[in-house]
Structure 1
Amino acid sequence: MLDPRKLLLLRELARRGTITAVAEAVTFTPSAVSQQLSALEREAGVPLLERTGRTVTLTPAGLLLVEHAQAVLEQLERASAALAAARGGPSGPLRIGAFPTATRVLLPPALARLSGAYPGLEPMVAEIDPADVSAALRAGELDVALVHEYDFVPPVTDASIETEPLFAEPMYLTDRARVPDARDDPWILSKPGTLCHTMAIRACQAAGFEPRVRHHIDDFDTVLAFAAAGQGVALVPRLAALAPPAGVALTRLPLSRRTHAAFRRGYGDHPAVRAAVAAFHTAATTLPL
């Protein structure tokens, strides 16, 4: 019988590429991960890994097992959700990940609704960049998360994660009427590696230029404060620009940011996750979009 916990390690190795990265994700030592994967090979009866020095790659049999591992792990998530539903209504800890704008605007009314409807539920919120959500969900660090995607940045698909659309919001440009008009301006972008940074770069490229980046700032309130101080132009979503500082003009663009709820595939019927997503939907209907 193949051990699902070892299958999870094999799946993470297929995604992360190194045993060290897998160990960091699951808070094991690299030695422990290697031992578990070696044990899985013995259980499978065929080589799953090919080791060349410090490099480890999956054999064709290993890749085949990863495909089946995803189906097994999804069924276990469904079983866990079904057992939780059999025990009763939503209760216990619920680990929620969210990006800062959603944490500030969407989560307070959603959490108030959850607390009123399910006093036994204990929501626990952690801010996280959407780019890191899939790994955190797969590792079991989060139960549900709010993620976003932008125009110009195709979503990264993950077979182990499901998403449910919540709402879309327009993007705004500070102090210019069109992106091409900001060709010669300094720009305020978020840090490289974030979806917002990639979106801004590609929006400028689509307008025919590379932005001259002066500042890297993730917090949109600070971005707008810098724009008000004449430090550059920026692209900001509607929910980050509800109360812009004096002196900042905002022009709505034909671009959008879309927010989704994300959870492990098969886990969406868990009572706590289902209650949270319903609360997100209700809170989204009150947003000034």
Structure 2
Amino acid sequence: MALGDASLVSLRVFREVAERGTLTAAAAALGYTESGVSRQIASLERAAGTPLLERHHNGVSTTQAGQIVLHHAAATVDQMDAAAREVAGIPDEAGTVRLGWFPSAGVLLVPRALSALRDKHPAITVISCEESTPRLVRALRTFKLDLVLLVSMPPYHPLDTETPALATQTLTEHSCRIAVPATHPLARGDYVDVTDLHGQPWISGRGGIVRGGPAEGPQLGVWPGLDERPEITHAARDWLAKLHLVAAGFGLTTIPAVLQDAVPPGVRVLPVRGGQSEQRRILLARLPGDPSEPVIRVAEALRTAALTI
């Protein structure tokens, strides 16, 4: 059996496994059983005549041969999807750019950029999704996304250890802010001293803990430089939920600069003085090589929008 005889299904399954890092996650995403995914991978490896995945205790990664097959698998799957759209009478998407972004970017940054892009380049279609940084990086590596917006924090390590290194561009760099209820005593000033954050109740994000629970996981929403065990009264994944809890007076939360113009009434956003500086960079990343014209235009729109935040 030759690699050229590999089925489209096996190529699609392989791409999904490479992106998600486990057969279990790929099976759930595709609606297959895990044994069905295993059979498709085994069939593809027989066709290739070499292992395409390395199995680890916590998942899988592609071998060098797997990276080569992945590149061609992605191109084949994309071409067949394009053919299916054409047969179905869906307009040509030659100008389509697939964009991924970190959660808070969807509040202001992405909508502003896409609105400007639509006015200047209406022929370009952008399909976007929100994901975690690891998922966005994997989606780039598996050719499922063309561009991703990411947040990086000191000491600004590379996004992953694979080669070649991803092409990145810093769109903006900013300090974190504190969102406080407008009725809170801290809201009376123009800034908050880091010592005034001691003993405050916090509204945390994913990985946070409710009062009395175990202190496990990253406590997103708590001021990163706080030198005490925080009191977390509420935990929410959604930024809007966190900010409305702040407005209702249930606690404080840390927010990135990209959100400060989108807070609801009843919230004041203030800088923090003292302690370590909490800097964040917004990065735009893609695979190395010459980008297409639509990708260049989308990158320009994102860069311009980032400068207005």
Q: Identity percentage over the alignment?
A: 30
Give the aligned partner of residue 228 of structure 2: 209
* Equivalent residue in structure 1 for 2:34, among 30, 37, 40: 30
Structure 1 residue 66: Cα displacement: 1.0
Kindly report which structure 2 residues correspond to 1:53-132, keeping only aligned pairs within 5 A, or say none.
66-70=63-67, 73=70, 91-132=94-135
Structure 1 residue 186: Cα displacement: 1.4
What whole-Å deviation, never above 9, does each CA across 1:34-72 have from its counterpart, x for those lacking one?
223222332454567799xxx8987xxxx7x71343356
Look up the equivalent residue of 1:274 and give its one-letter code.
I
| Counterpart-to-counterpart distance in 1, 2:47 and 2:285 | 33
Residues 270 and 223 from structure 1, CA distance in 2 versus in 1: closer, same or farther, beyond 3 angstroms?
A: same
Contact in 2 for aligned 1:189/1:217 (Cα 8 Å) = yes
| Counterpart-to-counterpart distance in 2, 1:218 and 1:226 | 12
Contact in 2 for aligned 1:191/1:218 (Cα 8 Å) = yes
Contact in 2 for aligned 1:103/1:127 (Cα 8 Å) = yes
Look up the equivalent residue of 2:25 and give its one-letter code.
A
* Equivalent residue in structure 2 for 1:248, among 248, 262, 268: 268
Residues 114 and 226 from structure 1, CA distance in 2 versus in 1: closer, same or farther, beyond 3 angstroms?
A: same
Give the aligned partner of residue 269 of structure 1: 291
What whole-Å deviation, never above 9, does each CA across 1:79-138 have from its counterpart, x for those lacking one?
99xxxxxxxxx9443332334432232223322332233332222333334443234445
Structure 1 residue 9: Cα displacement: 5.8
Structure 1 residue 285: Cα displacement: 2.7
Look up the equivalent residue of 1:283 and give its one-letter code.
A
| Counterpart-to-counterpart distance in 1, 2:137 and 2:28 | 15
1:165 aligns with 2:165: no
Aligned residues: 268
* Equivalent residue in structure 1 for 2:198, among 183, 186, 190: 183
Look up the equivalent residue of 2:106 and give its one-letter code.
T
Contact in 1 for aligned 2:203/2:233 (Cα 8 Å) = yes
| Counterpart-to-counterpart distance in 1, 2:232 and 2:156 | 19
Provide the aligned C-alpha RMSD in A: 4.3
Unaligned runs of 5+ in 1: 81-89
Moved more, 29-38 or 156-165: 156-165
Contact in 1 for aligned 2:52/2:65 (Cα 8 Å) = no
Residues 238 and 7 from structure 1, CA distance in 2 versus in 1: closer, same or farther, beyond 3 angstroms?
A: same
Structure 1 residue 188: Cα displacement: 0.8
Look up the equivalent residue of 2:115 and give its one-letter code.
A
Structure 1 residue 235: Cα displacement: 0.9
| Counterpart-to-counterpart distance in 2, 1:199 and 1:273 | 32
Contact in 1 for aligned 2:152/2:281 (Cα 8 Å) = yes
DSSP 3-state at the match of 1:191? coil
Residues 210 and 170 from structure 1, CA distance in 2 versus in 1: closer, same or farther, beyond 3 angstroms?
A: same
Give me the TM-score of the superposition, normalised by structure 2: 0.66
Unaligned runs of 5+ in 2: 79-92, 181-185, 187-191, 209-216
DSSP 3-state at the match of 2:249? coil
Contact in 1 for aligned 2:173/2:282 (Cα 8 Å) = yes
1:21 aligns with 2:25: yes
DSSP 3-state at the match of 1:210? coil
